[in-house]
Amino acid sequence: MPTSFLAPELVWGLLPRVVGAAFLIAFVSLSRQVVPLVGSRGVSPLRHRIARLRRDVPAPRRLFEMPGLVWLSHSDAALAALPWLGASGALLAIVGGPAGFFGLLLCWLCWLSLDVCGLWLPWDTLLLEAGFLALFLPATHALPDVHAVAAPLASVAFLFRWLLIRLMWGFAKLKFVGTEKGDGMYLQGFLTWLPMPTPLGWLFQKAPKLALRAGCAFMWTAEVVAPLLCCFDGTPRLVGAALLVLLMTGIQSTGNWGHFNLAYAGLCVLLLDTRASVLDVFGDGAASGASQAHATFVNACMAAHFVAGLALFPLNSWVTQAATQWNADRFTWRRPWLERLLRVVRLVNRLRLVGAYGVFPPNTSPPIKMVPVLEGSHDGRTWTTIPWRFMPVDERSPPRFVAPHHPRLDHSSIYVGLGLEEGDPVGGLMFEVKPYGCSPYSRHTWLQRVVQRVLEGEPGVLGLLGPDPFGERRPTWVRVVHVCLKPTSLAERRRSGRWWHARTMCVLHEPVRSDPSLWQHWIAEPEGVHPELTHWRRRSPALARLRAAVEEALLSEAEARTALCTAGDLDPSDVAAFWDDFVPWLAAPGRRDDWDALPRTVTAARERFGVERLRAFERVHQRAVHVLEARVEPHAYGAAVPHWDVANAFDLYATLGAVVLDGERAWARLYRDPGRVVARAASLDEAALLFPTALFRWEHVRSLVLGLRARTRLSRAPPMPWGIGRHERFLLAVDAGPQWFPTCIRSDDGSWTVPAEPFEAGHSASP
Going from the C-alpha of 526 to that of each of 38, 87, 546, 570, the distances in angstroms are 21, 37, 11, 13
At residue 683, does pLDDT exceed 50? yes
pLDDT surpassing 80 at residue 165: yes
Q: Can you give the residue ranges of every domain in the chain?
A: 1-151, 152-320+355-364, 369-519+701-761, 527-696
Residue 714 reports pLDDT greater than 60: yes
Element spanning 508, H or E? strand 500-512
| Listed range (300-314, 434-448, 479-493) with the worst mean pLDDT | 434-448
pLDDT of residue 280: 65
Q: Model confidence at 764, in pLDDT bands (50, 70, 90)?
A: very low
Q: What's the rounded mean pLDDT across residues 749-760?
A: 88
Q: What is the mean pLDDT of residues 321-342?
A: 92
Are residues 187 and 314 in contact, defined by beta-carbon separation less than 8 angstroms? no
> What pLDDT, on the 0 to 100 scale, is given for residue 608?
97
The 10s digit of each residue's pLDDT in 241-300 is 999 999 999 999 999 999 999 999 999 999 999 887 666 665 555 555 668 888 999 999
Element housing 181 (H / E): none
The pTM of this model reads 0.94
Residue 555 has pLDDT above 90, yes or no: no
Q: Are 656 and 632 in contact (CB under 8 A)?
A: yes
b/e code 580-593 from CB counts within 10 Å (16+ = b): eebbeebeeeebbb
pLDDT score at 146: 94
Q: Which residues of 676-691 are buried (b: 16+ CB within 10 A; e: fewer)?
A: bbbebbeebebbbbbb
Longest dimension (CA), the chain: 83
**Gap between the Cα atoms of 104 and 124, Å rounded:** 15
Nearest of 502, 505, 508 to residue 485 by alpha carbon: 502
State yes or no: pLDDT of 765 exceeds 80. no
- Percent of the chain scoring above 90 in pLDDT: 77
* 111 closest CA partner among 263, 274, 331: 263
What is the rounded average pLDDT of the residues 306-333?
90
Q: Please say if the pLDDT value at position 484 is more than 50.
A: yes
Residues 701-721, mean pLDDT to the nearest whole number: 83
Q: Which of 24, 310, 13 is nearest to 159 (CA)?
A: 310
Supply the mean pLDDT for the chain.
91
- Lowest model confidence (mean pLDDT) among 316-325, 394-403, 540-549: 316-325
Averaged pLDDT, 10-18? 96
For residues 193 and 711, the answer to whether their CB atoms sit within 8 Å is no
Asked whether residue 767 carries a pLDDT value surpassing 50, the answer given is no
Cα–Cα distance, 182 to 177 (Å, whole number): 14
User: pLDDT tens digits, residue range 60-117?
Assistant: 889 989 999 999 999 999 999 999 999 999 999 999 999 999 999 999 999 999 999 9
Band of residue 499 on the pLDDT scale cut at 50, 70, 90 = very high
Please report the pLDDT score of residue 363 as a whole number: 75
CA distance readout (Å), 510 to 376, 473, 480, 513, 700: 11, 21, 7, 10, 11
Checking if the pLDDT of 397 tops 60, the result is: yes
Q: What is the pLDDT of residues 138-163, one digit of tens each?
A: 999 999 999 999 999 999 999 999 99
* Cβ(690)–Cβ(393) below 8 Å: no
pLDDT band at 593 (very low <50, low <70, confident <90, very high): very high
Q: If we measure between CA atoms, which residue out of 396, 368, 497, 398 comes closest to residue 199?
A: 398
Arithmetic mean of pLDDT, 654-681: 96
Check residue 16 and give its pLDDT: 97
pLDDT in tens, 168-227: 999 999 888 878 878 889 899 999 988 899 999 999 999 999 999 999 999 999 999 999
Determine which helix (DSSP H) or strand (DSSP E) holds 99, and give its type and residue range. none
CA dist 559 and 562 (Å) reads 7
Q: Can you say how many angstroms the Cα of residue 19 is from the centroid of all Cα atoms in its chain?
A: 24
Least confident interval from 203-207, 389-393, 555-559, 721-725: 555-559
Beta bridge partners of 386: 374
Whether residue 474 contacts residue 399, with contact meaning beta carbons closer than 8 Å, is answered with: no
pLDDT at 568: 73
Distances (CA, A) of 497 to 206, 398, 422, 507, 757: 17, 10, 37, 27, 18
pLDDT of the residue at 301:
94
* Confidence class for position 766, pLDDT limits 50, 70, 90: very low
Contact 498, 394 (CB under 8 A): no
Look at residue 426 and tell me whether its pLDDT is greater than 90. no
